[in-house]
Structure 1
C-alpha cells in the first residue's frame, strides 16, 4: 500500500492543530482563515501549569489546553479548549483543536455535538465534515451521506483540495451499498482501484463488498493476492470466504501457514470449527456501516505504521470504534497508540473493552504488559498478566511474562510456579523456546535461597543455549559470590565478556570477580572499561573506587567514591557504606564486615525480559 498516497488523502486534515507543537506561531483557523485569539500564537516560556491561577478568560484556558496537548493529555486539552470556546464559540481554530482532543480522548458524543455546531455555523472544517459523515453512516442515513459527500468532497483527485478524494469515495461506495445500489457500489470501488498506489487497499474493500452481496468467488480472487489480504483482517475474511465456498481444507491450510498462528486464539478457533466440518459464516462485515468502520481502520493502520505514528491515526481508530464498537482491531489500534502517547488510563479502557468483547489478543497483551512494566506500572502489568494467564492458560509466554513481573517486584518465590507452568507447557518445544524460562526460573530460585535448584536450571539453559552471555554471567558471578568453583566461574564470565564485550554490566562482573578472587591488578582494566561505558552508574563507580584502593591508588579511589555518592546509590545502606569508606578507608570497612560475618555488596545482575531473548547471539556449537 502506498503510504504517501494515504497521507495525501488526508492532507486536508493536516492544517488543523493536532497538538500544541503543530500550531503555527500565528495559527489560522482551517478553511475560514480566522486567526487564533490575539496573543495565543505561542506559549510563552515559563507559562504556569494547568492548575495555575492565571487560567481565566480566553488566554488562560487556551494556553492550558496547548500545554495539555503537548503532553498528549487529550481529556484535559479538550476541557480547556471548550473553556476557551465559552469565551468565543465561533473561532474555528479553537473548535477544530477541541474536536481533535475530544475524538482522541474517545468522547465521541461531545465531538459529534461540536461538529454539528460547526456545521450549523457554516464553519465545518474537513475534520468536522468527517465526523458528520461518520454520524450519518452510524444512523444508516445512506442517502444523506451520499448527498453530503457529493456536495463537499473534492471533485477529483487532481483538485486543489483533492486530498480527501480517496477517503470520501471509499465511504461513498459503502454508502451506495447501504442504499441498496450494489452495482453502483462495486463500480465505485472498481474505479477507485485504478488510482495509482491505492489498488491493494481498495481491492480489500471491494472483496468485502463482493462477499457481502454473495459473490464469494470474486472476493476470493481478490483476497488471495498477498498485497490485498495478507493482514489479520484479510486473513479472517478470506477464511470465511473459503469456508462459504465449501473449501474448508484450503482455509485451514491458509490459517496454519499464517506466521504466529499458534498465538492467535481467534484463528485457532476458526480452524478448529472447520476441522469439525462446520461452515464459517461470513461476518467480517455484517453491514455497510461495518465496511465504513473498516475504511477508517485501514487509513488509521497505515498512518500508524510509521516510526512516528501520525496523530491522525488515533482519530481514524476512534472513528472506526464509533462505527463498530465490537471491531477489536480498531480498539487494539487505539489502545496501542494511546500507550505510545503515554495515555495509559485511556489505553487500559480500550484493553478492558477488548476483554469484555472476549477478544483478548495474546500478542498485543504481551506488548501491553511489557510497556506497562517499562514505565514501572508494575501493579497494572501484573494484573494484566494474571488476566492473560486466566484467559489463555495454555500460552507459555503469558506465564513467562507473569514470572518476570513477579521477579521485578522481588516476589521471587511467587515467580517460580509461573515459570514452572511455562516450562511444562514448553516441554516439547525447541531449545530456543525453552532456555529463557529455565534461566529466569533459575534467577527466581537463586534469589529464593534455593541455589542447588537454580544451578540445575542455569546449566540446563546453557545446554540449550551455550552462548548466552546472560546465563554465563549470572551463573559465573553466583559462583564467585558463593566462593565456589572459582576457576570455572571466571571462565564463565570471561566467555560472557567475549560474547558481549561492550556490555558494561558484564564487564563489571568480570572486574568484580577478579576483585573477589584477590586479583586486584587484573581487575583494574575491565573495571575502567565498565566505568567508561556506564559512567553515571553509582555501583560501577563504587566498585572502581574499591579496586583503586586495593592497588594503592587511594586518592583516585576517594574520587570514585565521591562520584558514586553524587550519583545517588539505590539504597541508604549503600550510601552509608560509601561514606564510611571515605571517612575510614576500605580496609576498615572490610575488617568490620569480616568481623560481623558480613558479605561484600553484590554487583549488577541482569534482570531479563522476554524481549531480551532476541538480543542474544544465536546458539552455536562449541
Structure 2
C-alpha cells in the first residue's frame, strides 16, 4: 500500500506539473516549450524517485526558471541540494525563492539556520516562527521545530527567559522530545539540577532513553566528574548490551580516552543541541522507512555538528536500505576510524554489503581481526559474530562463538533458549546430531512453546526415522502455535507421510505448496505423496517443476532424476 501511495503521488506530481505550468510556459521564452526542457524536468523527477540525487541535480538545475511558479519544484530542488551536501547552494536558492506571502517550509528552515549560524538572531526567529504554518507531511513535526528552534535562538542570544518561554509552547504531544530539550537547555544555561533532569529523562519507564546516558556522561565529564561519568556508562552498559554509542563510550572510558566523548558534543554550543533535534527527527523517519526525508534531516544534523561522527551510522544504514551500496560503504569505512566498537560494527555491515552486491563470502579471518580489537566483548558481541558466521554457512565457527555467548551470558537471560536453538541447528548442519539434539531439547526446556524449535527437532527426527509419533504430536502443537507457516505445515505433512498416512499428508503438503510454491523441498515432499496416492502424472509434473527451480540443490536434483525413472521406492 505504501508503494502504491508513492507511485500515485509521483503520477499526480507529474500531472500537476504539466497542468499548472502550461501558463508558466506561455509567459516565458520559447525555450521552455522545448522537448529538452520538459525532458530535463521529468528526468530529474524520475531520478529523485530512484534516489539518484546526483542525476536529479544535473537535470533540475537546467530548469531552475520554474522556481517562480512551481513550489513542488522548489521543495524537491532544495532537498536534493541538502542530500548532496551543497548547503551553500541550498541557502542561496532558498533566499532566491523565499517571499513573505508564500509559505515554503524548507526555505524558511534553511534561512533560519543560516541566520542563526551567522548570529543574526532576530532574522532567524522570523523564519522559525513561520514553520508551524505548514503541515505538508501529515506529521506535525513543523510545530515542534518552530518552537524548539526559536527556543535555541533565544538561548544563543543569552535570553534565558524567552528561551524557556518558547520551550513551554511546545505541545505536550511531544512529551518525549520536550524532556530531551529540557535537559539540554538546563545544561546550556548551567542549571544546578541538570543532572537530576537527565536522571529523570533516562529513568522514564514509558520510553527508551538509553542513548541519553551518553549525554549525561558527557555533561559530567565537562564538569571533570570522571568517576561519576564512568559509573553512568558502566551501569547503562550492564542494563543495555546493544547500544553501540554506549559500547564505544565504555571503551573510551576504560582506555582513559574520555576526551573522545567530550569531542562529540558540547551542550554549551547551540548548534550541537539543534543538531540532536534533527538527528531525532531523522531516526523517526528512518523507523517509518522514509529514508529520503530521514537523510534530509540527518544531513542538516551533521552539517550543524560534524564532530558527532557516530551519527553517520544512521546515514550508512539508510543508504544500505536504499540499495546505494557504494555510498554506504564509503561511510562505513569512515566510521571504522571512530573506535574498535564502531570498526567492528562497520566491518559486519561492509561484509553484508559485499554479500548483497556480489554474493561474495567475507573472509572469517578478516572479520575476526576486527573482533579481537574489542576491548571487552560481551555475550551480545559473541552472539552477533556467531550469527554472521551461521548465516554464511561457517557452522563450526558459529558454534565456537555461540558457545562463548552462552559462557558469558547471565543466568536466566531470555536469549539463552534462542542461542541454544541456533547452536543446535549449526551442530545439525555439520552432522553432529548428538550435540544438536541436546541443544534443541535444552532450548525447549526453557521455552517449550517455541514453534520453530519444535519444528526443527521434530522434522530432524522424521528425517532420521526416529521418534515419529512424538514428532507428529510436537508438529501438531507447533502448527497450533503458529498458523499458516509453510515450513511447519510441510513438516506436519511429512510426519503423516512417514506414518504412511498419505491422505492426511496430501492435505497438509498441498497447503504448504500453496504457501511456498517456489520451495524445492516442499514441492518434492508433495510430489512423493502424490506418487504414493497413485497420482503419478501430477507427481512427475511437480518433480519436473522442482528441477527448474533456482534454489534446487544438486543432491535433490539427482534424487528427483531417479524418481522420474523409478518413482518413490517405499522405505528408501
TM-score, normalised relative to structure 2: 0.75
1:69 to 40, 48, 63: 48
Distance 2:362 2:523 in 1: 32
Distance 1:304 1:56 in 2: 37
Per-residue CA deviation, residues 66-120 of structure 1 (Å, 9 max, x unaligned), is 22322223333333334555x989886555423322323xx21x34224324535
Task: Confirm whether residue 319 of structure 1 aligns to residue 300 of structure 2.
Answer: yes
Structure 1 residue matching 2:36: 3-state secondary structure: coil
The Cα of 1:563 is off from its aligned counterpart by 5.0
Task: Confirm whether residue 26 of structure 1 aligns to residue 1 of structure 2.
Answer: no
Per-residue CA deviation, residues 501-521 of structure 1 (Å, 9 max, x unaligned), is 532212212332443455545
After TM superposition, list the pairs within 5 Å mapping 1:180-329 onto structure 2.
181-182=157-158, 184-197=159-172, 201-202=177-178, 204-217=180-193, 220-221=196-197, 224=200, 226=204, 231-239=209-217, 244=223, 252=231, 256=235, 260-264=239-243, 266-267=245-246, 269=249, 284-304=266-286, 307=288, 309=290, 311-328=292-309
Task: Confirm whether residue 103 of structure 1 aligns to residue 82 of structure 2.
Answer: yes
Q: Which residue of 2 aligns with 1:526?
A: 508
Q: Which residue of 1 aligns with 2:414?
A: 432
Structure 2 residue matching 1:544: 3-state secondary structure: helix
Q: Which residue of 2 aligns with 1:412?
A: 395
Q: Which residue of 1 aligns with 2:29?
A: none
Q: Which stretch of the first structure deviates more once superposed, 409-418 or 368-377? A: 368-377
The Cα of 1:321 is off from its aligned counterpart by 0.8
CA contact 2:218–2:262 (8 Å) conserved in 1: yes
1:509 to 491, 503, 517: 491
Structure 1 pair 407–157 and aligned structure 2 pair: CA distance change class (3 A)? closer
Q: Which residue of 2 aligns with 1:549?
A: 531
The Cα of 1:293 is off from its aligned counterpart by 1.3
Task: Confirm whether residue 149 of structure 1 aligns to residue 130 of structure 2.
Answer: no
TM-score, normalised relative to structure 1: 0.70
Distance 2:301 2:330 in 1: 16
After TM superposition, list the pairs within 5 Å mapping 1:438-457 onto structure 2.
438-457=420-439
Q: Which stretch of the first structure deviates more once superposed, 366-375 or 399-408? A: 366-375
Distance 2:304 2:486 in 1: 51
Structure 1 pair 301–474 and aligned structure 2 pair: CA distance change class (3 A)? closer
Structure 1 pair 538–376 and aligned structure 2 pair: CA distance change class (3 A)? farther
Q: Which runs of 5+ in 2 are unaligned?
A: 1-6, 27-33
Task: Confirm whether residue 174 of structure 1 aligns to residue 152 of structure 2.
Answer: yes
Task: Confirm whether residue 473 of structure 1 aligns to residue 429 of structure 2.
Answer: no
Distance 1:295 1:22 in 2: 32
1:130 to 96, 109, 112: 109
CA contact 1:186–1:210 (8 Å) conserved in 2: no
Distance 1:327 1:234 in 2: 14
Structure 2 residue matching 1:505: 3-state secondary structure: helix
Per-residue CA deviation, residues 14-40 of structure 1 (Å, 9 max, x unaligned), is xxx9994673522399xxx9779869x
Larger relative contact order (Cα-Cα within 8 Å, sequence gap ≥ 6) = 1
Structure 1 pair 202–477 and aligned structure 2 pair: CA distance change class (3 A)? closer
Structure 2 residue matching 1:231: 3-state secondary structure: coil
Structure 2 residue matching 1:262: 3-state secondary structure: coil
Q: Which runs of 5+ in 1 are unaligned?
A: 1-16, 40-54, 595-599, 601-622
Q: Which residue of 2 aligns with 1:42?
A: none
Per-residue CA deviation, residues 266-287 of structure 1 (Å, 9 max, x unaligned), is 547569969x9x9997955241
Q: Which residue of 2 aligns with 1:394?
A: 377
The Cα of 1:447 is off from its aligned counterpart by 1.9
CA contact 1:441–1:457 (8 Å) conserved in 2: yes
Structure 1 pair 396–91 and aligned structure 2 pair: CA distance change class (3 A)? farther
CA contact 2:67–2:97 (8 Å) conserved in 1: no
Distance 2:8 2:299 in 1: 15
Per-residue CA deviation, residues 285-340 of structure 1 (Å, 9 max, x unaligned), is 241221221232244344455x4548433211110011111325643443444344
Distance 1:449 1:505 in 2: 21
Q: Which residue of 2 aligns with 1:346?
A: 327
Structure 2 residue matching 1:142: 3-state secondary structure: coil
Q: Which residue of 2 aligns with 1:613?
A: none
The Cα of 1:465 is off from its aligned counterpart by 3.0
Structure 1 pair 296–507 and aligned structure 2 pair: CA distance change class (3 A)? closer
CA contact 1:548–1:554 (8 Å) conserved in 2: yes
Higher helix share: 2
Distance 1:248 1:186 in 2: 34
Distance 2:216 2:320 in 1: 30
Q: Which residue of 2 aligns with 1:43?
A: none
Structure 1 residue matching 2:275: 3-state secondary structure: helix
Distance 1:332 1:170 in 2: 25
Structure 2 residue matching 1:429: 3-state secondary structure: coil
Q: Which residue of 1 aligns with 2:406?
A: 423
Q: Which residue of 1 aligns with 2:3?
A: none
Structure 1 pair 581–18 and aligned structure 2 pair: CA distance change class (3 A)? closer
Structure 1 pair 521–272 and aligned structure 2 pair: CA distance change class (3 A)? same
The size of the alignment, in residue pairs, is 541
